[in-house]
Structure 1
């Protein structure tokens, strides 16, 4: 699944069975299989495996800093003893995952939140069709981890008592949340029972406080309640400088302005300046060392920006009355409404101004997964589709479908359910969030490319001038309704077949009738989608009439409603009696061809093999 799957993982195998279990993971991501030389002499190591001669204890010590995660197939006690001397702090330790020797369970052992072990455990379990074991207290309460709350949005952690606030959260004691900036999407996906209170309320005795702000606050060690701060990246720093200004001068100037204004460096989204400074070595080095993007604007653009402190001297020098203020506002306006938070501050070599954007900069490349969830039963979803759903920041779909995949969801995810008639809105919302930098999956029942959302999202991207790369897009096929219905009644699709939707919301009824006649006349086995609704019955009556013009009334027909779901209903009948059955929008109809027949409640369309014997 592109770069979003397993990244920089070491898989440790000590037995032939462990190699079998881990091998599929090595085919789907950046996972390196490590095998002792003694085992390598017994089996043929998979291509790309790392063979080590030393003890596993020494080998782990040697490679510990090279990987973000370690996946063991072994007893958890053995793993605990091996990694104990190597663990430092949960903010630094790699994710540790343990798979039992039979591959039935995947355990998040260490660094569940910040190291990503909980999420990786879910992904691996989906790949292996195993059971994930996650013991994080917040997960059991269906709450997002406080220490990873802002990760999808690119927020940076500030100072605070993170262990203390996590403990308060787990105990479900009241926590005050003061959010001054950044996305509030995380709030909308909280469970009904959660410990967070937003804003101020003097009647509640809060046991903890979370600040989500660009401001840098100093918390006293002796504070009566634990406090933490997340910093959304909403600050754009405009910089003007003399030719040859050094990295040190720029660093000092920015730090001084931040300190004076009580703003957090972690809240900086990026830097902005005039395009003639794009080759300024000191500025480039500062941007690179700070890992901040640098945006540049022409004088023509900057001179159109209204600023509080224009300068005639600057205008004479660079053809615009403002560089720092205008550049900061120009960059911030690319992310919604902008306000000049700090007017230009001038030093001997550097001028600094800071604007705040409405929307934070995530620093991530967005992703859209177009996922077919099959007929609705979790067991009928492909492992790749399950993995795509599990790893997503956001799941978008029709409410019925998001409910069907609820077991695959986890507390940190944002679920957006829109009505069945709002397909275009779903597509545009997915694109909007992906362009912002989130990982989004759009789910469709059946196969997403057959009357699903895949075509609509791709079509909408093409209208917007999509370059084919950003955001990244992947399509995950699912078992289509016609396949699922066919599997429940036998083998009706063994010869040429077609699918026709009777919905005339997007296709003129004249076109539908033409296709029905062509399919009936050509003797195709025909799958009918969207046969009728409470207000749309005529197209189904027309379909029956057309098929009876070319098919025998005794032609076998299967009517399958809510296939593979709890209220599944299957009726085997004939074309002449088709309309005697209960049919609605959850129904798929399979009309046989001239050779289709029933045998002991099985619907069969011969391929022709027996005729050639």
Structure 2
């Protein structure tokens, strides 16, 4: 891949940083920007232009011909704040590259292609994620992209033995019966009568025994004919397997076919019975066979028995197909102003998103198409965690989301315990918690230390919550009260008000923060149950707090 970095404005820092990202495959153009396109348009794979979008558009416009032939174009403004794909978003993989470069620059990607607006994956992106080759009718691919752009669902048929993984924008179902005209198919098999688009997993392995005199071109022709005659696609071929003494010839053959070569030691084969014994292999190698035994030695499933061509024997096997899923526990903040770059990157990585319905509503619009509304009601935390782990176990990259910070009264605990028990990889993405956002509205209520308490007695007995409130009331900590549930609210607020009034005084100013930045300061004695609910957070500062209008100032002890 040849990458040309074209500075349209001077920015030595950006130039060096982008060069570091691409490494040896990139070089910095030092002449007039227009000359870079004049001289290198036909040879470059990607131009990364540093400058304003308008300048870059005017520079490249005369050279554009066809999206299949034109190089990819990325624009990075001189500020370095954005990475904008202009050409080759899907065809050249420039959208995916833009995401990685944006992370490297701590910038924001600006993706304007239609599929990104719905948070769905194009067939090419799916192929990359699944490690498959994409094969089939170009017109079918265009029709699929059209369906995705309109927000319609595309049939995705999955052949045995591959798992039914959910993907946004696709209706995943088992492959049975005839295929419709426009669909995507995950299969190793050939379907000559259809114009469908295929995802070809690299799971097929051909075991072969051959004489040294058999040239590479002939071996390639035999393998092509063998796979076609068995009804399997060459694009799903991932490995060629033979004995160690064939290492040099096998490597040349594998390079010709673009697959891996795998060698099996002959001593291993002596104890493996050949389903179709070979007198020739027995006579010259002292082995019961080669083509089938090398596949069995690798633990592969035999799909087709040995077929003998002049000077070569071939057998077909399947490697185990496993895609390692993982779990992302993602904090959304308030879903708008306080969602972090790390959270956006995690959502981009995820293929399905689970969460409580109120948290799914916080997702940025482009990710809402990835939301699975399964077990999304209150009190379904355990079922939701189990579903997330089930999907990850099958091979999906799953995000389990929560507002604020997922570790502060979020559903992180059951999911982490299950993931740890099952050995499923996980990552916790921190976020801006509700207490931090609320404190920012009121000034400096947390500077002397704070505690967070949930009033929900769904999992914690009310008696235990009472004891915690009594202990905290006697401290100098600001107490942040979450989850002011409706059940028994009058009793709970009365207890809280009386407990803190005894310790801190009934005229203590307290803050009530709501979603959207609404706030109010009231005296503790005026706190009423009807003023509080699940969508707000209550801040109870220590004695000595200064109330200046709707600002709460807790002194840290500095003197000036």
Range class of TM-score, shorter chain: 0.7 to 0.9
Partner Cα distance (1:157, 1:31) in 2: 26
Q: What is the aligned partner in structure 1 of residue 6 from structure 2?
A: 12
Match of 1:108 among 60, 85, 95: 85
Q: What's the secondary structure of 2:201's corresponding residue? A: coil
**1:590 is paired with a residue of what secondary structure?**
strand
User: If the length of structure 2 is used for normalisation, what is the TM-score?
Assistant: 0.74
SS of the residue corresponding to residue 404 of structure 1 reads coil
The separation in 1 between residues aligned to 2:88 and 2:123, in whole angstroms, is 14
Consecutive unaligned residues in structure 1, runs of 5 or more = 1-6, 35-48, 220-225, 333-339
Task: Report the TM-score, using the length of structure 1 for normalisation.
Answer: 0.68
Out of 333, 353, 364, the residue aligned to residue 316 of structure 2 is 353
| Deviation larger for 106-115 or 498-507 | 498-507
**Structure 2 residue matching 1:388: 3-state secondary structure:** helix
Q: Distance in 1 between matches of 2:169 and 2:154?
A: 17
1:330-372 superposed Cα distances (whole Å, 9 cap, x missing partner): 556xxxxxxx643444566645133487xx555xx76655432
User: Is the Cα–Cα contact under 8 Å of residues 239 and 327 in structure 1 kept in the other structure?
Assistant: no
Say which of 437, 448, 452 aligns to 1:495: 448
- The 1-side partners of 2:405 and 2:93 are apart by 30
Relative to structure 1, is the Cα distance of residues 446 and 177 closer, same or farther in structure 2, using a 3 angstrom cutoff? Answer: closer
2: CA distance, partners of 1:570 / 1:102 = 35
> Are the structure 2 counterparts of residues 530 and 137 from structure 1 closer, same or farther at C-alpha, using a change threshold of 3 Å?
closer
Does the alignment pair 1:607 with 2:556? yes
Within a 5 Å distance, the mapping from 1:323-362 to structure 2 comes to: 323=293, 326=296, 330-331=299-300, 341-345=303-307, 350-355=313-318, 361=322
User: C-alpha separation between the residues in 1 aligned to 2:262 and 2:69?
Assistant: 29
Are the aligned partners of 1:175 and 1:210 in contact in 2 as well (CA < 8 Å)? Answer: no
Superposed displacement of residue 593, structure 1 = 0.9
2:129 maps to 1:152: yes
Matches within 5 A, 1:141-540: 144-162=121-139, 165-166=142-143, 169=146, 177=155, 179-181=157-159, 185=165, 189=169, 208=182, 210-218=184-192, 227-233=195-201, 235-237=203-205, 239=207, 241=209, 248=216, 254-268=223-237, 290-292=258-260, 309=275, 323=293, 326=296, 330-331=299-300, 341-345=303-307, 350-355=313-318, 361=322, 369-376=328-335, 378-409=336-367, 413=370, 415=372, 418-419=375-376, 420-424=378-382, 426-427=384-385, 439-452=397-410, 458-465=416-423, 471=425, 475-507=428-460, 512-534=465-487
Describe the SS at the equivalent of 1:493. Answer: coil
Aligned partners of 1:582 and 1:259: how far apart in 2? 72
1:541–1:326 distance in 2 versus 1, CA, 3 Å: farther
Q: Residue 575 in 1 paired to residue 524 in 2? A: yes
Superposition RMSD in Å? 5.4
| 1:117 corresponds to 2:117 | no
CA change 1:217–1:381 in 2 (3 A) is: same
1:553-599, CA deviations, whole angstroms, 9 ceiling, x for partnerless residues? 333322323x22xxx65443343443434433333221111122322
The one of 524, 539, 543 aligned to 1:590 = 539
Q: Aligned-pair distance for 1:457?
A: 5.2
> Does the 8 A contact of 1:10 with 1:31 survive in 2?
no
- 2:398, 2:151 → 1: CA distance? 32
From 490, 510, 524, give the equivalent of 1:557. Answer: 510
8 Å CA contact retained: 1:372, 1:446 = yes
The answer to whether the 8 Å contact 1:544/1:575 transfers is yes
Q: How many residues align?
A: 546
Report the CA distance between 1:111 and its aligned residue: 0.7
Per-residue deviation, 1:480: 0.6
Secondary structure of residue in 2 paired with 1:152: helix
Contact 1:69/1:95 (<8 A) preserved:
yes
Q: 1:201 to 1:174 in 2, by over 3 A?
A: farther
> Whole-Å Cα distance in 2 between the matches of residues 186 and 382 of structure 1?
26
Structure 1, 49-58 or 401-410: larger mean CA deviation: 49-58
> What is the CA–CA distance in structure 1 between the aligned matches of 2:214 and 2:490, rounded to whole Å?
75
Q: 1:361 to 1:246 in 2, by over 3 A?
A: farther
SS at match of 1:258: helix
Q: Secondary structure at the match of 1:259?
A: helix
**Post-superposition shift, 1:160?**
1.9
For 1:600 and 1:277, locate their aligned partners in 2 and report how far apart those are by CA, in whole Å: 82
Partner of 2:48: 70
C-alpha displacement at 1:544, in angstroms? 4.8
Residue 132, structure 1, aligned to residue 110, structure 2: yes
Helix, strand or coil for the counterpart of 1:483? helix
Q: Secondary structure at the match of 1:451?
A: coil
Gaps of 5+ in 2: none
